[in-house]
Amino acid sequence: MSFAGTDSLSGIDFCSPASIFPNDGVGQIATGTCTDKAGNVSASARVKVNIDKTPPAILGMPAASCTIWPVDQKMVTVATVTAMDALSGLTAGSFKLTVTSNEPVGPNDPKSPDTLVTANATGGYVVQLRADRLGNANDRIYTLRTTATDLAGNTATATTTCMVPHDQGK
């Protein structure tokens, strides 16, 4: 944060040096003055500065070793995923979560999806995956991807997978 001033009579001689804020923080204060060439000092200017260089936190993703077993065609809750940013807050609508699979969707029945991502009351998502795989295929891999952006423009992403193994021997 730097300070500048104007003086129509004698002109500005100098102003306080720039304030440097090396750390994130809300409500940090920068204070400065300017002095004209006649030696008059301005009133002190005081400005609140918010610094946010830290991306949002994404919480609740399944562990990297997420395995769904037994293969019983039931929906299994694997995660409740949330995002937060304690400094500037999240940009509205920026928190998104998608789920894909290496296998085609099961029966063409919209009442029986293989993945179900539901928004919850706290602004997060509950993720349910079907414990199913093609009978003639290897492991089924579900990939969960999420992204969130804060009001300062910092973006966080997280990706993980959950596996429905071909058999427990894997």
In the three-class reduction of DSSP (H, G, I as helix; E, B as strand; rest coil), residue 98 is classed as strand
CA distances from 68 to 39, 40, 129, 132, 133 (A): 75, 74, 8, 9, 11
Distance separating alpha carbons of residues 29 and 21, to the nearest angstrom: 9
Distance separating alpha carbons of residues 159 and 80, to the nearest angstrom: 14
Whether CATH 1.10.1510 fits 57-164: no
Can you give the residue ranges of every domain in the chain? 12-51, 57-164
Q: Can you tell me which residue has the tokens 């995956």?
A: 129
User: Would you state the pLDDT for residue 159?
Assistant: 97
**pLDDT, mean of residues 57-70:** 95
Q: What's at 36, amino acid-wise? A: D
User: Would you state the pLDDT for residue 3?
Assistant: 92
Residues 110 and 122 sit within 8 Å (Cβ to Cβ): no
**pLDDT, mean of residues 132-139:** 84
Q: What's at 30, amino acid-wise? A: A
**Comparing 49-53, 83-87, 166-170, which segment has the lowest mean pLDDT?**
166-170
Distance separating alpha carbons of residues 80 and 60, to the nearest angstrom: 6
Q: 5 exposed, middle or buried (CB, 10 Å; 0-12, 13-18, 19+)?
A: middle
- 11-54 pLDDT, tens digit each: 999 999 999 999 998 889 999 999 999 999 999 999 998 899 99
